[in-house]
Amino acid sequence: MNFENFHKPVLLKEVLYYLNSKDGDIIFDGTLGGAGHTIEIIKAIAPTGKIIGVDLDSQALSTAAHKLKNFTDNVILVKDNFANVESILEKLKIKKINGFFLDLGISSNQIEKSGRGFSYVRDERLDMRFNDSSSLSACSVLNEYAEDKLKEIFYKYGEERWAPRIAKNIVSYRNTKKIKYTGELVDIIRRSVPSYYKNRRKGHPAKRIFQALRIEVNKELESLNKALDRGFELLEGGGRMVTISYHSLEDRIVKEKFIGFSGRCTCPPEFPVCKCGARKRAEIITKKVVRPLQSEINENPRAKSAKLRALEKLK
Ligand SMILES: C[S@@+](CC[C@H](N)C(=O)[O-])C[C@H]1O[C@@H](n2cnc3c(N)ncnc32)[C@H](O)[C@@H]1O
């Protein structure tokens, strides 16, 4: 078993500050990863608190178990989807939590070492599943989805303007040969994006398509929506919800949910009275989204796109 951990936790001080945990608290950490945040949260809730560390990825759970081997009284590790927060806690006979934390997306360990095709700079099998027992992989999406469906996910989850050309070229490639490797996909994308545009564009030409595929394979946005709703209901009054997102689609979901929990009316301005049933149930404690300092980005470039938001549930 390989317990190497490359992942540096992002916005660590800020996470601890906004979670504001104390001895005895029960915290739900839905994205355990390499346990970088988890181990520091444990120090805040010890000796009597508990953290429930959840991940879909068996490799992440092994790395975390190794790292947390001296804290077994304070941690419960669970292989599951964070969207199932309700059933996870029910099985553990935990009724309420004091903190709910999500550090979304993918870890450096998964990009660098999993061999599952998360990176466009490596030639690996197209897999992209967090959960190795799930049936949908990047390979099945690319080889089985209709052209229109591919175009739709590339637009929706990758905000990729060349989605139609890329989808068309994927379909014509797979008519002769199954697409199995990230290198093949990167070549198709390179051929589909006009060179004048490729040169002006920031970042790798395959970045948006890889993001779109990962979101589709892991149903990431559905899980996030469900987790925020269910997690909020399970928070104790005075409990905190803290999230870190890495792209605009995730951040928009978190922002809108938080606005909803804080009771801001979302009716169209032409409505004379509120019909959306807005009710203030939480205070957003990050009035502006929290971004990493340049010094953190210099040390950990992965932190660059991170956005932290936090709220406190009313008592
Ligand atoms: C950014 S990493 C977390 C890193 C961690 N905070 C640390 O500092 O080591 C995100 C982790 O969440 C996991 N993950 C993503 N979506 C998930 C979901 N719906 N349910 C459970 N785990 C998920 C991924 O497998 C990955 O290990």
pLDDT above 60: residue 1:
no
Question: Are 160 and 173 spatial neighbours (Cβ–Cβ below 8 Å)?
Answer: no
Q: Region 163-178: what's the mean pLDDT? A: 97
- pLDDT score for 24: 97
For ligand 1, is residue 105 a contact (CB within 6 Å)? yes
What ranges in the chain are assigned the alpha helix state H? Answer: 12-19, 36-45, 58-67, 85-91, 108-113, 138-144, 147-158, 163-174, 182-192, 195-200, 207-218, 220-234, 248-261, 294-299
The rounded percent of the chain whose pLDDT value lies above 70 is 97
**Predicted confidence (pLDDT) per residue in 62-93, tens digit:** 999 999 999 999 999 999 999 999 999 999 99
Domain boundaries, given as residue ranges, for the chain: 12-109+221-313, 112-218
The pTM of the full predicted model, rounded to 2 decimals, is 0.94
Q: Residue 265 C-alpha to ligand 1 middle, in angstroms?
A: 32
- Tokens 């929290």, residue located: 290
Q: Region 295-305: what's the mean pLDDT? A: 94
Q: Region 246-271: what's the mean pLDDT? A: 92
- The reply to whether domains 12-109+221-313 and 112-218 share a CATH topology is no
Nearest-CA residue for atom 2 of ligand 1 = 107
On average, the pLDDT of the chain sits at 94
**Predicted confidence (pLDDT) per residue in 272-289, tens digit:** 888 888 889 999 999 899
pLDDT above 80: residue 32:
yes
- pLDDT score for 2: 58
| 236 SS3 class | strand
Q: Which CATH architecture has domain 12-109+221-313?
A: 3-Layer(aba) Sandwich (3.40)
- pLDDT score for 23: 97
Residues 6+ apart with CB under 8 A from 194: 162
Q: Residue 45 C-alpha to ligand 1 middle, in angstroms?
A: 21
Cis peptide before 205 (omega within 30 of 0): no
**Predicted confidence (pLDDT) per residue in 90-142, tens digit:** 999 999 999 999 999 899 888 888 899 999 988 999 999 999 899 999 999 99
15 exposed, middle or buried (CB, 10 Å; 0-12, 13-18, 19+)?
A: buried
**Predicted confidence (pLDDT) per residue in 198-222, tens digit:** 666 677 889 999 999 999 999 999 9
- pLDDT score for 113: 85
DSSP string, 116-185: SS--TTS--BS---SSTT-S--HHHHHHHS-HHHHHHHHHHHH--TTHHHHHHHHHHHHTTS---BHHHH
The CATH label, of 1.10.10.10, 1.10.150.170, 1.10.3660.10, 3.40.50.620, for the domain at 112-218 is 1.10.150.170
- pLDDT score for 63: 93
- pLDDT score for 3: 62
Nearest-CA residue for atom 24 of ligand 1 = 106
